[in-house]
Structure 1
Amino acid sequence: MQPIHTQRLTRSTLLFPLALVVFEFAVYIGNDLIQPAMLSITQDFGVSANWAPSSMSFYLLGGACIAWLLGPLSDRLGRKKILLAGVMFFTLCCLLILLTHNIYQFLVLRFLQGFGLSVISAVGYAAIQESFAERDAIKVMALMANISLLAPLLGPLLGAFLIDAVSWHWGFVAIAGLSFLSWFALKRKMPEPLQKPIQQPFIYLFRDFKTIYTNAKFLGLSLALPMVTMPLMLWIALSPVMLVEKLGFTSVQYGLAQLPIFFALIAGNLVLIKIIDRFALGKTALVGLPIMLLGTFILLLGIIWSSYLVPCLLIGMTLISFGEGISFSVLYRFALMSSSIGKGTVASAVSMLLMFSFFFIIELVRFLYIYFHISTFVWTCMILIGLWFVYPRIVLKHTMQQRLTLGKF
């Protein structure tokens, strides 16, 4: 699929990304607000606290399972129709979860709510990448990330408030209201059409996915994404158990402990926006990943010298978050543009790979955590970041060299 045109980054062209980020914020806070309340939710349902990370993993699994359909549908029917339908579906699922009576019903609705993740990644992000010139698209993604990062910043604090003051049910009511508000903003501000719909029959979808997943360049660049983002995702999933249950943090202390980590992610995105026009595209990732690796070594020091565990966890995760901030948007752009197939389908392929990785790794770490506790989290982070320096780094440097040969900065 070829875009009709690309826009320059101006105040007027930012209205659509701002409308989209309202929904993105609702979807993200749908995890970050609820995850701190999971200890209270598991108590309400009469199950072990070990179920707490499953709320996040089923949320991610829902996004992974629908991604294959949403992107190709948006290639054929138009991004706007699919985006608006997805926003409304997410809103309804947030309200339906109020009717659940046990942990199994709760996780089914969490799975369905997770569809919202793919609405963003397979439809919304594809529209952003098509609408703006290359470096402007990366800036827009970074700006959106900073706004959506209010979710993990506010989520733990609001989650603590839910636990101490009101029922967790009100969190889902607020998320549904925010999502419904974004539906109106997107209906008004999303341009249409952003692309010419593909005329191929839907049966070609499977051929397209085969072409994408057998592309070595796509695999190298896309596999980098879960390696870069997984440590922070694991932190969000496990930190309530590690900090509150294991280390005895209060709900407020838990919320405050998240602030340096997510402020570092915001700082990384701001640095990316500031310097991206000065360096070859991809250079920030080559700087960011060593910073993340240093963060994992600091996490390891906390395991070795347990009396320094808490400061090492916070310092290590702060460095990891900063490195992710200056790396992710660039790596995502490279992954999305690594195939000539319709960008909705490519975005779906990236989304599926990313979210299935999230689900399986979080569930594996959740199981291993029962036996090895915080060291499971630390060693998983180190292994994931270390693996980036094997194949994905080689593919990234080769891609940068190809761009240089073609005269692209």
Structure 2
Amino acid sequence: MQRTLINIGPRQVAGFCLALTAFELLTYMASDVIMPAMLDVTTDLEADARHVPHAFNLYLLGGVCLQWLLGPLSDQFGRRPLLLIGSALFGVSCAAAFSTDSIEAFNLLRLLQGMGLGFVVAVSYPALQEVFCEADAVRLMALLGNVALLSPLLGPLLGILLLEWLSWREIFLLLGCTAALVWLGLLLWMPETVGVERRDGQQTPRVPFSWRLTCRRYGALLGNPRFLCASLALGLMSLPLITWIGLAPLLLVRVLEMPPLEYGLWQIPVFSAVIAGNLILDRLLQTHSLTQLIQLALWPFCLGLLFLAACALLGAGLGPVVASLSLYAVGLGMSNSAVYRLALFSSDDSKGLVSALTGMISIAVMGFGGSLIAAIGGGSRLEYFAIWAAFGGLMCLPMVYRLLQTTTSDVASPQ
């Protein structure tokens, strides 16, 4: 059983973890399950196919829009009410897509749906860190990452199967109904972690919201080199994977003319590799500090991206590209939760605000980076995707190096 810092029973712990996992999975699933139908969406709404990656990137950017505000608000009013509001907003915007009649309205709803991702990052992640002890929190973050990765792993395949019986509009309605059930689970089982006395006699204090104070706190975080390096590294490290998710429908279905089922099957090696990396992280946590884990993870991470660049230069086919992405994905799975933990505890400020800015920076890097790669032709040829994705991922190395240099051993070591 996980060691909790607040006084809640085993049943509530299990219900909270289950509801939180379901909400995170649903926010990712809303993106990935619809990807096989995106060409149908653009055809039905009489829009250009270029909206396929745009809709995905808008979903990511939606996760950034409110995070700067959600973190400080949850520090004052608590994590529980904010997450309930976020899950309700997500469910309503999914259900509203059922009746949309233009690509502009569809893209706006994708932006609103993506805001649910912002609530996950800015509100639920700090709550998880405040409920559980450090080692358990890192493990649970990695396990949540595994569950979230079931979405891009199984989401396209599930979307293909659902399209046999449902239209893309009905899929969104189904997502909205499922979100209502998740909201009920959060209402029943999510504990409040702000202003509650913990078993160690301490508590996460409520921080009154002030525009001036919030801007000053954000400014102080942006002046923190360790925080900035960790947040930028999080975004750049995930950029190749995010770009693959956004451009795979164009590259595989449109350019390589694969049937949707084959497109879904080609996702399995990449996301299985990320899950494998997370499982390796869980095994190594007992014997390695977080900085040591990141250093180990850089080997498969960098080798995978260098092989990906070589695939582009040599004109290799889809198999070598996916194999290179999979090797990179192992390193990403090993390092992502550890880098997030270092970002969150790089400052003594409230974790709601720190998590919000971490999510804003990392998701903005992924969203703008993915849009840029799509704009310069990453979805037109496999070679273009490979070279730009490899270049974007390797750009994280200076930030990771600086992070490892400035992280003290007492912060990095698991307790």
TM-score, normalised relative to structure 1: 0.93
Q: Tell whether 2:69 aligns with 1:69.
A: yes
Letter in 2 for 1:26: L
User: What is the CA-CA distance between 1:163 and the residue it aligns to?
Assistant: 4.2
Residue 246 (1) aligns with residue 255 (2): yes
Partner of 2:190: 190
How many Å apart are 1:233 and its aligned residue? 0.5
Cα 1:332–1:371, aligned 2, differ >3 Å: closer, same or farther? closer
**Which residue is 1:269 aligned to?**
278
Deviation, structure 1 residue 196: 3.0
The AA in structure 2 aligned to 1:152 is: P
User: For the residues of structure 2 that align with 1:9 and 1:282, how far apart are their CA atoms?
Assistant: 33
**Counterpart contact for 1:289–1:385, Cα < 8 Å:** no
* Alignment map for 1:83-98 (pairs within 5 Å): 83-98=83-98
The yes-or-no answer on 1:157 pairing with 2:173 is no
Match of 1:337 in 2: 345
How far apart are 1:302 and its partner, in Å?
Answer: 2.7
Q: Hey, what's the Cα distance between the residues in 1 that align with 2:58 and 2:414?
A: 41
The aligned residue for residue 355 of structure 1 is 363
Match in the other structure for 1:221:
230
Whole-angstrom CA distance in 2 between matches of 1:11 and 1:269: 26
Distance of 2:386 and 2:29 partners within structure 1: 25
**Offset, 1:57:** 0.7
Q: How many residues align?
A: 403
Shift of 1:173: 1.6
Please list the CA deviations of residues 43-66 of structure 1 after superposition, one character each: whole Å capped at 9, or x if unmatched: 111222121001111111111111
Match of 1:203 among 212, 218, 231: 212
* Partner in structure 2 of residue 290 of structure 1: 299
Give the whole-Å Cα distance in 1 for the aligned partners of 2:205 and 2:288: 33
Percent identity for Structure 1 against Structure 2 = 34
Task: Provide closer, same or farther for how the CA distance between residues 317 and 9 of structure 1 changes in structure 2, counting only shifts above 3 A.
Answer: farther
Task: Give me the whole-angstrom Cα distance separating, in 1, the residues matched to 2:101 and 2:211.
Answer: 39
Deviates more, 1:38-47 or 1:330-339: 38-47
Bigger mean CA deviation after superposition, 277-286 or 236-245: 277-286
Unaligned regions of 5+ residues in structure 2, if any?
A: 195-203
Shift of 1:110: 0.5
Please show how residues 305-316 of structure 1 align to structure 2 within 5 Å. 305-306=314-315, 308-316=316-324
Partner of 2:42: 42
Q: Is the 8 A contact 2:121 2:359 kept in 1?
A: yes
The answer to whether the aligner puts 1:382 opposite 2:390 as a matched pair is yes
Q: By how many angstroms is 1:294 displaced? A: 1.2
Equivalent position amino acid for 1:196 in 2: P
Change over 3 Å in CA distance of 1:186–1:408 after alignment to 2? closer
**What is aligned with 2:15?**
15
Q: Distance in 1 between matches of 2:376 and 2:383?
A: 10
SS in 2 for 1:390: helix
Contact 1:7–1:13 (CA under 8 A) maintained in structure 2: no
- Give the whole-Å Cα distance in 1 for the aligned partners of 2:158 and 2:379: 31
Distance 1:370 1:283, change over 3 A: closer
Are the aligned partners of 1:9 and 1:136 in contact in 2 as well (CA < 8 Å)? no
Per-residue Cα deviation, 1:222-278 (whole angstroms, up to 9, x for no partner)? 111011111110010001111111112110000111111111111111111121111
Counterparts of 1:370 and 1:333 in 2: how far apart (Å)? 32
Hey, what does 1:394 align to over in structure 2?
402
1:39-89 CA-to-partner distances (Å, cap 9, x unmatched) read 111111122212100111111111111111111110010000000011011
- Give the 3-state SS of the residue equivalent to 2:377 in structure 1: helix
2:178 is equivalent to residue 170 of structure 1: no
Judge conservation of contact 1:22–1:182 (CA < 8 Å) in 2: yes
Inter-partner Cα distance in structure 2 for 1:280 and 1:89: 39
Relative distance call for 1:362 and 1:42 in structure 2 (3 A) is same
**C-alpha deviation, 1:11, in angstroms:** 7.6
Structure 1 residue ranges without an equivalent (≥5): none
- Aligned partner of residue 50 in structure 2, secondary structure: helix
| 8 A contact 1:300–1:378 mirrored in 2 | yes
What is aligned with 1:324?
A: 332
Equivalent-residue separation in structure 1 for 2:117 and 2:254 (angstroms): 28
Summarize the Cα distance change of 1:375–1:11 in structure 2 as closer, same or farther, 3 Å threshold: farther
Kept in 1: contact 2:379–2:385 (CA 8 A)? no
**Alpha-carbon distance in 2 for matches of 1:27, 1:109:** 13
1:4-24 CA-partner distances (Å, limit 9, x unpaired): 946899786343222101011
- Counterparts in 2 of 1:385 and 1:331: CA distance versus 1, 3 Å: same
Any conservation in 2 of the 1:301–1:312 contact (CA below 8 Å)? no
Equivalent residue for 1:56? 56
Higher alpha-carbon deviation: 186-195 or 147-156: 186-195
Kindly provide the CA deviation profile for residues 186-238 of structure 1, in whole angstroms up to 9, marking residues without a partner as x.
11111124433113534311111111111111111111101111111001000
**Whole-Å separation in 1 of the counterparts to 2:374 and 2:14:** 39
| Rounded Cα–Cα distance in structure 1 between residues aligned with 2:379 and 2:22 | 40
Paired residue secondary structure (2:376): helix
Q: Report how far residue 370 of structure 1 moved.
A: 6.6
Q: Structure 2: how far apart are the matches of 1:358 and 1:228?
A: 9
Once residues 161 and 310 of structure 1 are traced to their aligned partners in structure 2, the CA distance between those partners, rounded to angstroms, is 24
Which segment drifts farther, 129-138 or 382-391?
382-391
Shift, 1:385, TM fit: 2.8
Going from structure 1 to structure 2, the CA distance change for 1:391 and 1:46 (only over 3 Å counts) comes to same
Deviations 1:135-172 (A, max 9, x none): 11110111111122221122111222344543111221
Tell me, in whole angstroms, the C-alpha distance in 2 between the residues paired with 1:371 and 1:27: 24
Distance 1:236 1:300 in 2: 18
Query: RMSD in angstroms over aligned alpha carbons?
Result: 2.2
1:96-175 to structure 2, matched below 5 A, reads 96-175=96-175
CA distance in 2, matches of 1:161, 1:204: 50
